[in-house]
A and B are shown apart, each in its own frame.
Chain A
């Protein structure tokens, strides 16, 4: 809670009534004393914090970009995956037995179903593409070829007459 209090104060202008220099300050007021102290030390503390974070950041970036770090994390990951493999197998086997016993579809069943759906979707999209091609061909075919203005007028007249 103290930290929240500190953060809330930082970077803030004190209320105008408090900042009035002619206003007598009360050294026995714990809130005012604390505020004054915080404000007095705030800039230094923040500056120190940022400086130390910067240097820490540079050190960490150098560390993660080193060959030693690459080797260590690679080996750690490899060890974890190797050691966890038997457990994963056991869990998979147990789950398969339990789900089969309960007559519930397994992950592989759902996966297989999803794959089939994707295949159907692919075919549908292919059909959609063909349909688009056919529609655009029909559209292109049905649009009258540009002719002279006289002919256009005649066509318009025919359409009007048909109506």
Chain B
């Protein structure tokens, strides 16, 4: 080894070894710890069974705030903090800064004692109570309801059953509502196969385990979810922005909760198989769910690369409702990425805000 290259290479080797050590530490940290998620300041204003209703602390002076409160309803089988993933990548933080009075319903994780909970209970027992509290706290008789995924099903059913309860604006995100096409997407195919018996699953487990639902969601894109995601991390271990984003998303993806057995049965049988909601034959506690009764302003946001709720499942509601003010927004991205991905801040959130701002006064 020459005298001139020896110290240089020794320093480079040390640098590389240090980098390897740092990357290994990063890998261990993100794969074995939880990211600090849901950091936007909030307070619990109502609880009911496992459900909690949060109000986010406004940062805009009262006189500059939008009058109509924004009520967020997420899916039943994932944690709702995907809407408040981390500072700078939080829909809730963004909307609070835009002057909305934001409320989030966290359904909580159902215990075995909740296995008989149905859509009927969520729509007519939980939602009206939470909405009453929102009205009492905000002092406004009107509200905007934003439902995402299964939350959009719940919001749609509520809007149809209680159209005159003060619902001014209805926002649906990637809403799986129309299951006419039995070949659209993996879920529809799987659950419509005659070998698939949801009764046996519920009979065995009571509530459907989060792991089973997670497997279903991941199996739709197995290579991306089981390999691609980790390769992305691997390739970017020295990029703190990507690592922290991956960490937060991985925390959410692995934070699984079960789904109440009776709700699961209703979802598979009445919606995925019999397509009752869009056909107008779904009955909730004796009341027929008639979508034509929905007259709130409607914003329907569809993700063009959604493999969980293909676009055909979300589009047709536009022709079923009576809303005079309705808008269909198609955005690039997948089921979750549309609202929590890097492009959400630039496209999806500003679009929702610009649509909602005029309708929240």
| Identity of the chain B residue whose Cβ is nearest the Cβ of A14 in the assembled complex | B12
Which residues of chain B come closer than 8 Å to A53, judged between CB atoms? 223, 227-228, 231
Residue B164 lies at the interface, judged by CB distance under 8 Å to chain A? no
Residue A127 lies at the interface, judged by CB distance under 8 Å to chain B? no
Chain A-chain B contacts (Cβ-Cβ < 8 Å), number = 142
We find that the number of chain B residues with CB closer than 8 angstroms to chain A is 52
* Cross-chain contact A70 with B196 (CB below 8 angstroms): yes
| Contacting residue for B190 out of A4, A46, A74, CB 8 A | A74
| Contacting residue for B221 out of A31, A46, A57, CB 8 A | A57
Given known pairs A7-B234, A57-B228, the reply for A67 and B23 (CB within 8 Å) is no
* Cross-chain contact A18 with B8 (CB below 8 angstroms): yes
Interface residues on A, range: 35 or more
Q: Tell me if B's interface is mostly helix, strand, loop or mixed.
A: helix
Q: Tell me if A's interface is mostly helix, strand, loop or mixed.
A: helix
| Identity of the chain B residue whose Cβ is nearest the Cβ of A81 in the assembled complex | B200
| Identity of the chain B residue whose Cβ is nearest the Cβ of A28 in the assembled complex | B1
* Cross-chain contact A64 with B223 (CB below 8 angstroms): no
Residue A48 lies at the interface, judged by CB distance under 8 Å to chain B? no
Which residues of chain A come closer than 8 Å to B113, judged between CB atoms? 110-112, 114-115, 118
* Cross-chain contact B15 with A67 (CB below 8 angstroms): no
Which residues of chain B come closer than 8 Å to A107, judged between CB atoms? 112
* Cross-chain contact A31 with B197 (CB below 8 angstroms): no
* Cross-chain contact B204 with A65 (CB below 8 angstroms): no
For the A-B complex with A8-B19, A61-B223 known, give 16 more contacts whose Cβ atoms are closer than 8 Å. A8-B237, A23-B8, A32-B9, A57-B223, A60-B221, A60-B222, A64-B220, A69-B189, A70-B190, A74-B196, A78-B196, A81-B197, A84-B204, A107-B112, A118-B49, A132-B132
Q: Give residues in B with beta carbon < 8 Å to A.
A: 1-2, 4-5, 8-9, 11-13, 15-16, 19-20, 23-24, 48-49, 111-113, 125, 129, 132, 136, 185-186, 189-190, 192-197, 200-201, 203-204, 219-224, 227-228, 231, 234-235, 237-238, 307
